[in-house]
Structure 1
Amino acid sequence: MPIFKPFYRSPVFFLGPAMLLASTFFVSVPAFSQEEILDPAAAQIATQVTAPEDAPILTLIKSGTIEGVKLLDKKDVLRFYQEYQGKFLWVREGRFSSDSKKLFALIRDSYTHGLNPENYQRTILSQMIDSKFSDEIEASKAELLMTNAVIHYGADISGMRISAKLVEADMGSWSKGVAAYSLLNVISRSDDPARVLSLLAPQDGEYESLRKELKNILDQYAENAKSDLAPIALSGLIRQGQSSPVVAQIRERLGVNVGENAQIYDEKLVEAVTKFQIDHGLKADGVIGPRTVQSLNEGPRDHLIKVLANLERRRWVRRPMPGRYVEVNIPAMWLRAVDNSRVEFEMPVIVGRKKRPTMSFVDEIVGIRFNPSWYVPDTIKKEDYLPALKKDPQALSEKGIAFRIKAEDGSGMVTVPPEEIDWESMSERDLKSIQMVQGPGAANALGVIRVLMPNRYDIYLHDTNTPSLFKKDDRAQSSGCVRLAEPRRIANFILGDNKHWSEDRLDSYLKAGKTREIPASHPLPVYLFYYTIWKDADGKLVYGQDIYALDKTLVNLLKNNGQIDFPML
């Protein structure tokens, strides 16, 4: 089936010679040829005949507003209707066509995606959807109101609606939405415009499950999503056999019989807590701690916020995704390797702590560095190491970190003893100029394997010299990079297509102890997502934790901008 590729607002970028991840999104439209898929010029209207400049519809477009509604992408819309000879897409014989009514149904139900139908002229269109228009001026107004709704909906359903900077996401990694001119051109040649528009939304199972979850929340709680349950307050941990008044609250919350020994954490309640932990992406150890209590305290409104935030983020992803890639879900603290669009394996990871979060972005893996050196990032130099060095210039000696400064003759960097550096009067600029380097070895902070993925944030995947952190429930412990539980496995996945690659070769590189870079014969994309709801191995939705408190920020921004409108919020 031919696939049409509409062109997005954001610039094209490449993720390797074999995979073009442009700022585009594929839409199935059977009428298009392969040439039209690949050639932007072929997506233009075939005829070069333009409409008269005094055509009523063109005059209305130039005015910029219709019935008090500001027209979006006015230049693109004007260009389209000029090339379309001033003809109508939506109005036939003085009425909205059946295709228009199908489109209006999508707009009316856009709230099921977490959108606000009023942004797409729901009220005004509902008043005229069955009307007979008295003259060409009125028909032109109706035509342009529907066009405005379609291009606004198309952009919103296929990309970001707010600034990436406001939600700590990378601006260049995510879709900005389908462009108006491209969308109108596709629709003008389609026999099913509603299908074109509906296919701009993500088509994956996770997205549809989130839509169903949104509907369930709205149906169940109507306008009141506030929890009537008293919040559980706990400091410390509760283990099986221990007693606490909090235990009685947890029994009630999980529907476990209270009985005479309500405050004793017995085996039956441990089973219920363990299941709850599994369902919420927590360490399933049956120990009641802060993260378990945090999830227990979440009510319907909290779940609504999570669902809306995750629907939003899933629309940011440029599609189609490639068949082979690596993805990290930051809040879930796992990595998945995907091949032929199927998960090959999953592993735990350690991500950035709240004060040093792991950025959400898309990048390209180009190879592996074995036995890497570690160049200490500026943040760690400033916040962690400088205070220690002021107290004791030898504070980092056990870590084997060397200090390098620029040679006075400009010949390069020279190593100097730490006691010869004036740490007390160190300026931030001077500190940045000093290289702190930890050579390869067992103590190296990167372990013995680093994934090469150049990016502006200096965030990458790597091994670790502190594997004990993987035993923690809360694995948001790094300074921003992603530490791997099974670095050899991911190295084999990345280099597996290289000629003569094998486990023996990997072992030989590690045993040599020397730094060596091996480029991947087929570079592959890596996605660092921020999804606080995901599916487990059984396909069940898991309500995870918002480790950087970004969900509420995102939803509040959308709400304040009028981009969502739910009484429950």
Structure 2
Amino acid sequence: MKKFCLFVVLLFVVFMSCKNSKKEVFEESEDYFDTIRKVTIHAIPEDLLADKSDSIRSYYKLFENHEIWVDRENREDLISQIEKTKDEGLNPEEYNINKIFRLELRMDSLQVEEKLAYDILLTQTYEKLCNHYYRGKLNPDEVYDNWDLFDKKLSIAKLLKEAIDTKKIAPSIKGLLPTHPIYLSLKGALVEVDKLPASKFDSIDINLKIKFNDNSEVIKKIKQRLVYWKDLKQEDTLYTNKFDAKMLNAVKKFQARHGLFADGVIGIGTIKALNYNKETRKGQILANLERWRWFSRNLGDQYILINLPDYELDYVKDKDTIATHKIVCGRPERMTPILSSKLSNFVFNPTWTVPPTIIKEDLTVEATANRNYFTRNRITIYKGTNTVVSPSEWNPEKAESYRYVQTPGYNNSLGVVKFNFPNHHSVYLHDTNHRDYFEYKYRALSSGCVRVENPVSLAKKVLDGQDNGRWKSLEVIRKERAEKEAKLKLNKNYKPVKLSPEELEAKQKMLTEEQDAIDKIIAAKETYYIKVKQPIYIHQLYWTSWSDKNGLQFRDDIYNLDKILYNKLGGIGDNIND
């Protein structure tokens, strides 16, 4: 037996040795003269690649271990792209710009070994730049705890080979950047902020709210701040203590740009926003640019896009925003996770199983004080699978060992509809029994899931057009018929078929009936599932700044994610306020 074990160990050692030796095989190459370019292409000696990463070694293997950056045009393209990294909120110095520029100026006088080292430096820089453009400088999982985005794969080897061969270095790099309008608007915001003069604002402090027609010494300072941010024109104001009409309009504009109630009343929220300076806002923009480089490049043909700090949901179909809804997201101590997923089904009249966090922090406390908590909230207590426990028999010391289920209904915690999608955080979109929350401006108030205003309307729009047979809308039916007729036109015997007025009326009636069917399902108060067959993606994302026709837009950093990210990007923490 011992001999057999020894034999197995020896076999394993031999196998691993062969495997490792195979990995380290380096194919020696020789210099050769390129008759087309009239240059000598130098081979890369093994010792120059010995300490380089596996990926760098693999790139050179594609070029048979010869120089890659032989053509000046390719080198100059790369240098140009490095210089343009500042447009993306990145620092060209991190991509060896000065060293590369100095070496390029001396290219014709470099010794062979220096040229080869320069070639490797260019390859490393290309790889770094591609990764940063496509995935971001940082790994979101190493910055935040609750990010769950789609994986993004990039074959730099294939990209580099094609770019070098076709002399399309610039397109190969630029094509990795986000093209979403928000990312492009952030680049515009960065330009606008950079145009502003340097500022180091003194903090504005007020004890009482300031309203139209008030007189106060602090109003002069507020006017100066509004002029700085271009909400108030220099020629439209006198720096007096009077809160006049033009200042009122400027305050409302400033408030709207910051997601505040645009009522013209200057309170704590408005003063907090006024106290941010240029460097603070620039740091915020840089953090948001980095986050957008983490997000998926292709959000899908149909998707629900949620911006948590703006408390807003958009349903987008074929690049057209079909619907916009207010949302309530998790409070800071119970953050809503940032994630991408795909809608799987709707549950109308859902039951609600109380999650562990709420059991521990809410239910146990309230129910211990008053057992009527369960009856008042229509919650059934279960022990094991289906054994019902009465409130009087409930043991608060074992509260977390029970299962708590709330019956369906309009006042159920999930409301009348729930949107399910797979994720690792047990969160979903849903209706709510606290519909008054949607009137607030600050709506980070939930326990982690996203609550949607008028969710039944959203559910109907998503189902309208789904390939579920009964849920097809008239618009989809017409589109399908048009596509079918387009194919039939290829037949010389084709005769166009049009829906008669009667057919149109019948289809419209069917659509109305099916929309009404959802209302009937809800009215029945029975739990009902509808599967979503066509892909509808869900993106719960986080961005706190952008630019639009109304100017620079900023939102409160409800989870303090901007400061965390900006610090890790190398910024100074004080530049982003708490």
With the shorter chain as reference, the TM-score category is: 0.7 to 0.9
Where 1:158 maps in the other structure, the secondary structure is helix
TM-aligned CA deviation for residue 61 of structure 1: 4.7
Where 2:533 maps in the other structure, the secondary structure is strand
**Percent identity for Structure 1 against Structure 2:** 28
Match in the other structure for 1:288: 266
Q: 76-85 or 265-274: which moved more?
A: 265-274
TM-score, normalization: structure 1? 0.79
Looking at structure 1, the residues matched to 567 and 330 of structure 2 have their Cα atoms a distance apart, in angstroms, of: 24
Looking at structure 1, the residues matched to 216 and 363 of structure 2 have their Cα atoms a distance apart, in angstroms, of: 41
RMSD after superposition: 2.7
Q: Deviations over 1:358-389 (max 9, x none)?
A: 11110111121100111111111111222222
Are residues 340 and 155 of structure 1, via their aligned partners in 2, closer, same or farther at CA, if it must alter by over 3 Å? same
Q: Deviations over 1:516-557 (max 9, x none)?
A: 110112131111110101355x47441222111110110101
What are the residue-to-residue correspondences of 1:348-427 with 2, within 5 Å? Answer: 348-406=326-384, 412-423=385-396, 425-426=397-398
Looking at structure 2, the residues matched to 240 and 514 of structure 1 have their Cα atoms a distance apart, in angstroms, of: 53
Match in the other structure for 2:74: 99
Are residues 98 and 191 of structure 1, via their aligned partners in 2, closer, same or farther at CA, if it must alter by over 3 Å? closer
Where 1:450 maps in the other structure, the secondary structure is strand
Match in the other structure for 2:289: 311
Looking at structure 2, the residues matched to 552 and 282 of structure 1 have their Cα atoms a distance apart, in angstroms, of: 21
Q: 414-423 or 140-149: which moved more?
A: 414-423
Residue 500 (structure 2) pairs with residue 530 (structure 1): no
Residue 556 (structure 2) pairs with residue 545 (structure 1): yes
Match in the other structure for 2:308: 330
Looking at structure 1, the residues matched to 315 and 136 of structure 2 have their Cα atoms a distance apart, in angstroms, of: 26
Match in the other structure for 1:499: 469
C-alpha contact (below 8 Å) 1:349/1:484 kept by paired residues: yes
C-alpha contact (below 8 Å) 1:157/1:201 kept by paired residues: yes
What are the residue-to-residue correspondences of 1:459-470 with 2, within 5 Å? Answer: 459-470=427-438
Looking at structure 2, the residues matched to 195 and 445 of structure 1 have their Cα atoms a distance apart, in angstroms, of: 51
Tell me the amino acid that sits aligned with residue 233 of structure 1: D
C-alpha contact (below 8 Å) 1:57/1:137 kept by paired residues: no
C-alpha contact (below 8 Å) 2:215/2:241 kept by paired residues: no
Where 1:522 maps in the other structure, the secondary structure is coil
Match in the other structure for 2:225: 253
Tell me the amino acid that sits aligned with residue 162 of structure 2: V
Looking at structure 2, the residues matched to 400 and 325 of structure 1 have their Cα atoms a distance apart, in angstroms, of: 34
Residue 181 (structure 2) pairs with residue 202 (structure 1): no
1:231 to 185, 198, 203: 203
Residue 173 (structure 2) pairs with residue 173 (structure 1): no
TM-score, normalization: structure 2? 0.77
1:63 to 50, 69, 86: 50
1:511 to 498, 523, 527: 523
C-alpha contact (below 8 Å) 1:120/1:148 kept by paired residues: no
Q: Deviations over 1:138-189 (max 9, x none)?
A: 2211111100000000000111332323443655415567344343233244
Tell me the amino acid that sits aligned with residue 253 of structure 1: R
C-alpha contact (below 8 Å) 1:164/1:170 kept by paired residues: no
2:90 to 115, 137, 146: 115
TM-aligned CA deviation for residue 234 of structure 1: 4.4
Residue 569 (structure 2) pairs with residue 558 (structure 1): yes
Looking at structure 2, the residues matched to 193 and 99 of structure 1 have their Cα atoms a distance apart, in angstroms, of: 6
Match in the other structure for 1:34: none
C-alpha contact (below 8 Å) 2:186/2:547 kept by paired residues: no
Match in the other structure for 2:298: 320
Residue 410 (structure 2) pairs with residue 442 (structure 1): yes
Are residues 450 and 163 of structure 1, via their aligned partners in 2, closer, same or farther at CA, if it must alter by over 3 Å? same
C-alpha contact (below 8 Å) 1:157/1:177 kept by paired residues: no
Match in the other structure for 1:191: 167
Residue 253 (structure 2) pairs with residue 275 (structure 1): yes
2:130 to 139, 154, 168: 154
Tell me the amino acid that sits aligned with residue 231 of structure 1: S
Are residues 494 and 236 of structure 1, via their aligned partners in 2, closer, same or farther at CA, if it must alter by over 3 Å? farther
C-alpha contact (below 8 Å) 1:155/1:176 kept by paired residues: no
Tell me the amino acid that sits aligned with residue 123 of structure 1: N
Looking at structure 2, the residues matched to 104 and 76 of structure 1 have their Cα atoms a distance apart, in angstroms, of: 21
Residue 61 (structure 2) pairs with residue 82 (structure 1): yes
Match in the other structure for 2:276: 298
Match in the other structure for 2:99: 124
Q: Deviations over 1:104-152 (max 9, x none)?
A: 1111231221223232221211111132154432221111110000000
Where 1:187 maps in the other structure, the secondary structure is helix
Q: 353-362 or 527-536: which moved more?
A: 527-536
Q: Deviations over 1:59-110 (max 9, x none)?
A: 145332xxxxxx4xx2122123223212322124xxxx11211111111231
Looking at structure 1, the residues matched to 372 and 391 of structure 2 have their Cα atoms a distance apart, in angstroms, of: 7
Where 2:44 maps in the other structure, the secondary structure is helix
Where 1:109 maps in the other structure, the secondary structure is helix
Tell me the amino acid that sits aligned with residue 76 of structure 1: S
C-alpha contact (below 8 Å) 2:323/2:458 kept by paired residues: no
Are residues 526 and 144 of structure 1, via their aligned partners in 2, closer, same or farther at CA, if it must alter by over 3 Å? same
Are residues 453 and 238 of structure 1, via their aligned partners in 2, closer, same or farther at CA, if it must alter by over 3 Å? farther
Are residues 534 and 512 of structure 1, via their aligned partners in 2, closer, same or farther at CA, if it must alter by over 3 Å? farther
Where 2:310 maps in the other structure, the secondary structure is coil
Where 1:528 maps in the other structure, the secondary structure is strand
Match in the other structure for 1:36: none
C-alpha contact (below 8 Å) 1:356/1:480 kept by paired residues: yes
TM-aligned CA deviation for residue 452 of structure 1: 1.2
Looking at structure 1, the residues matched to 145 and 430 of structure 2 have their Cα atoms a distance apart, in angstroms, of: 21
C-alpha contact (below 8 Å) 2:220/2:239 kept by paired residues: no
Where 1:526 maps in the other structure, the secondary structure is strand
